[in-house]
Amino acid sequence: MKKKPTLYSILDLALVSEGHTLKQTFNNVLELAQHAESFGYTRYWLAEHHNAPNIGSSATSVLIGYVAGGTKTLRIGSGGIMLPNHSPLIIAEQFGTLASLYPNRIDLGLGRAPGTDRETAQAIRSDFMQAAQSFPAELEKIEKYFSKENSTSKVRATVAEGVEVPIYILGSSTDSAHLAAKKGLPYVFASHFATTHLMDALEIYRDEFQVSEELQEPRVMAGVNIIIADTDEEAERMSTSLIRMIVGIFTGKREFVQPPTAMTTELEEILQHPQIHQMLKYSFIGSKATVKAQVKEFMEQTKADELIAVTNIYDVNDRIRSYELFAEIMQELN
């Protein structure tokens, strides 16, 4: 029996490159999504982050509506909404509205991290830590608001009741694997930056999975960093923007995404730093042939049902080309 094809999708942070306005950034997001649709991608997800000048996807629900309005078939969603930042009622209303506007195209990926620093998390919601610890209960509230049965409750998200919005659980450690398995929901692992617990988390999820109305069997998505160009050298050059971005995260000096440069000895040394080397373990950078071999190995290791590709580089045209080549790889491997 032929195995099911591995789906391929995009996770975007609406990166703000140096010299670009937010308007240009959002236009580029839509342009990339439109190309992704033509390349055969399944979904295009936007991630909630705050207080980072190089990330434009902070008002995630608004941007999802913008991208959904400019595309036709692509599934658009959150990868994820950081639920402890929000009232479950408001999120149900937002995504119920989106799914009514764009039926059968909206996904709700939920995470429990703040997507920002401690001070900003506190500014978003003063009881953030309590909300993070209550993630399973908050998730149940969302499910309740989407159910038709909630129509008899005193508190209702009327625009969400009975509306079809698949829920995905995001994780970067093993914690959420237990929850996703118990709830019988699809599980999305952030292996594009949190590499250490990937295999353990997938094993826990598959071992503990309980059949639900949503799923009959476990469903795994895994994040990978993908930078593909016509040559290994050109892809390596484009990756210098990503390396500088990561250095900014570690040093607390976040800045707009920098134009690529030649790979220097200093940047090569940074790549060998144990923390950064570990963080970029599932980063596949090179020509189409180079990346195809790496992606094939990753698919065999994880047996993921879907790969969600992250291409954090400076130029939108380079991103579009990289995603086009990644789509070709996935079509050939399927």
pLDDT of residue 116 exceeding 70: yes
Residue by residue, DSSP assigns 65-112 as: HHHHHT-SSSEEEEEEEEGGGS-HHHHHHHHHHHHHHSTT-EEEEEE-
Q: What are phi and psi of 304, to 5 degrees?
A: -65, 145
| Third-level CATH fold of 7-333 | TIM Barrel (3.20.20)
Residue 143 CA to residue 289 CA, distance in Å, equals: 43
Residue 75 corresponds to which tokens in the numbers above? 């599934």
198-209 average pLDDT score: 98
pLDDT of residue 299 exceeding 90: yes
Mean pLDDT of the chain: 95
- Closest by CA position to 311, among listed 249, 238, 251, 225: 225
pLDDT of residue 135 exceeding 60: yes
Confidence at residue 2, expressed as pLDDT on a 0 to 100 scale? 55
Q: Which pLDDT band holds residue 122 (cuts at 50, 70, 90)? A: confident
Residue 181 corresponds to which tokens in the numbers above? 């398995």
Q: Which regions of the chain does DSSP assign to beta strands (E)?
A: 7-12, 43-46, 75-82, 106-111, 167-171, 187-189, 220-228, 283-286, 306-310
Residue 220 CA to residue 176 CA, distance in Å, equals: 13
Helix axes 135-146, 175-183, angle to 10 degrees: 30
Residue 171 CA to residue 182 CA, distance in Å, equals: 14
Confidence at residue 118, expressed as pLDDT on a 0 to 100 scale? 83
**Cα torsion angle, 273, 295, 190, 208, sign:** negative
pLDDT of residue 127 exceeding 90: no
Strands 7-12 and 43-46: parallel
pLDDT of residue 1 exceeding 60: no
Polymer length of the chain: 334
pTM score over 0.85: yes
Do residues 311 and 225 make contact, with C-beta atoms less than 8 angstroms apart?
yes
Query: For the chain, what percent of residues have pLDDT higher than 90?
Result: 90
